[in-house]
Amino acid sequence: MFFHIFKYKVKIMMADRSGLFWLILFPILMSTLFYLAFSNLLNGEAFQKIDVAIINEASNPRFTQMLDESEICNITKTTEESAKKLLDEGKVSGIIDVKGEPNLTISDNGINQSILKTVLDSYQQVTATINGVVEQNPEILKTNFLNELNVRHQFTKEKSIGTSTNAVVIFFYALIAMSTLMGGTQAISDIEMTQADQTASAARLNVAPTHKLKVLVSTLSATILFHFLCVLLSIAYMAFVLKLDFSSSIGYIILLTFVGSFTGIMLGAMISSFIKKQGTKVAIIIGVTNFGSFLAGMMSVEVKYWVQETIPILAYINPLNLVTDGLYSLYYYGVNERYFINLALLFAFGVLGCAVTYFKVRGQKYASI
């Protein structure tokens, strides 16, 4: 009986064109719009060497050598007149005169100019330190002092945070979270099948010899599986068609998505079990889902960070944020404690919805059908 009901529930959902639109086409359309809107931001720009003109290079060749070995700049050794011409034409970001104490000349402010100034300041600070040490202790030059200056000690551990660090992916993660939690609307019909005062088919089911809880478990199982596969289809579209980077932890992404689908449907079933009017059920589920998506950063990434910083409890009780944050942690930090905390809390909400729905449906009695 379980598989019989399961099979026909899947067939019903496959024949529901409106449901298929919201489950499959809507996330695909939204992700495509996001991609078109943020395509330039999704493609990280590689660092380009800074064009700089060096004048009076012969008076301090060691500085030029240091700058060249840093692989930060494209160096052009030229005269003062030629250097000014290059700067005026915008072909170099700055002019460094290395005669005496190196100084920088720029014609505009920008990132490149800031980098050049930082490099120059660093060089001058190190030079001043060495000169001060030598003045106080000239004998130090007879030791390995200058070679030891090139030694660098690491006091931090390098840890990969993924192949990309683009905050725009939060929009796509919030969309995935919304898709998983939107499954709550699919649970409305499952609950109505056990409520004899809702539809004629539900009335017939309540007088049938099959236990209504068995029917509920069969239909909800079919809904969870079907909805989960629809969400996976949306993720596959984002990954293979839009070429979004979902990190290498695809198994953990699938697990989080499945728990998200389970939780969304269970919470939808819980809401549906307490409310009679179908329009009110749909409005509440969609309203809660959209508000949760907003707090999870779907409309503005800054909102997610603001909630996390100012009202952290709201982030932990928002199932959509738990899905988004779980994907976010996988993307940046890989599989870690933060991911499992989100997963556990999300599953706990699903179990809570399942338990409340069970006790509510089990206790329903009718004077007549």
Q: Distance between CA 163 and CA 161 in Å, rounded?
A: 7
Per-residue confidence (pLDDT) for residue 258, from 0 to 100: 95
What DSSP line would sit under 165-228, residue for residue? --TTHHHHHHHHHHHHHGGGGGHHHHHHTT-TTT-HHHHHHHHSSS-HHHHHHHHHHHHHHHHH
Q: Which residue has the higher pLDDT, 205 or 119?
A: 119
Per the rule left: phi > 0, alpha: psi between -120 and 50, beta: everything else, 90 is left
Nearest alpha carbon to residue 179 among 291, 267, 289, 300: 289
Where do we find the tokens 């996390």? 308
Confidence of residue 151 (pLDDT cuts 50, 70, 90): very low
Q: Is the pTM of this model over 0.75?
A: no
User: pLDDT, tens digit, for every residue of 171-181?
Assistant: 888 888 888 98
Per-residue confidence (pLDDT) for residue 18, from 0 to 100: 84
- Asked whether the predicted pLDDT for residue 43 surpasses 80, the reply is no
- Asked whether the predicted pLDDT for residue 304 surpasses 50, the reply is yes
- Asked whether the predicted pLDDT for residue 183 surpasses 90, the reply is no
User: pLDDT, tens digit, for every residue of 216-258?
Assistant: 788 889 999 999 999 999 999 988 898 887 766 788 989 999 9
Residue 278, token pair as written in the block: 């179908």
- Asked whether the predicted pLDDT for residue 210 surpasses 80, the reply is no
What percentage of the chain reaches a pLDDT higher than 70? 82
Per-residue confidence (pLDDT) for residue 155, from 0 to 100: 45
